[in-house]
């Protein structure tokens, strides 16, 4: 039987004393997104992941959501600690992403105006 998810910062700090990055994300999520709660709803999880709520729900249904979730009563939730771990893992990935390729074809009207040319 799997162990229950860690729900508080002190438990995590005791088990992983050198993981300061996750703890910084943990504090950010608790203060700014969940407003003090240690559980994040699907809506809040979507905010953390910067994706639409429907996309996150579909990923949960398919089992492809990178943040583990569970049912609490009748609500699907994720622990803030799991969200913080996911964000910390993404830290290195953002820098490794290739640059967006330049758009092909003629410049758009907005690009021509921004360049100072006539529309």
The domain segmentation of the chain, as residue ranges, is: 9-114
d(CA 61, CA 73): 17
Residue 108's CB is within 10 A of a number of other CB atoms, namely 10
Task: Convert the pLDDT of each residue in 7-17 to its tens digit.
Answer: 556 666 656 55
User: Does the pLDDT at position 96 exceed 60?
Assistant: no
d(CA 76, CA 59): 13
Model pTM score = 0.62
Task: Convert the pLDDT of each residue in 33-79 to its tens digit.
Answer: 888 888 999 999 999 888 999 999 999 999 999 999 999 999 999 99
Q: Determine the pLDDT at residue 52.
A: 92
User: Does the pLDDT at position 6 exceed 60?
Assistant: no
d(CA 109, CA 95): 31
Backbone torsions φ then ψ of 79, nearest 5 degrees = -75, 150
CB 79 within 8 A of CB 87: no
């Amino acid at each position: 039987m799997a162990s229950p998810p860690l729900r508080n910062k002190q438990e995590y700090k005791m088990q992983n004393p050198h993981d300061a990055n996750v703890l910084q994300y943990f504090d950010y999520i608790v203060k700014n997104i969940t407003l003090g709660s240690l559980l994040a709803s699907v809506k809040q999880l979507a905010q953390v992941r910067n994706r639409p709520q429907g996309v996150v729900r579909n990923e949960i249904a398919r089992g492809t959501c990178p943040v583990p979730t569970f049912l609490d009563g009748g609500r699907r939730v994720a622990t803030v600690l799991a969200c913080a771990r996911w964000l910390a893992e993404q830290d290195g990935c953002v820098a490794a992403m290739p640059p967006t390729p330049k758009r092909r074809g003629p410049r758009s009207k907005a690009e021509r105006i921004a360049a100072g040319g006539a529309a």
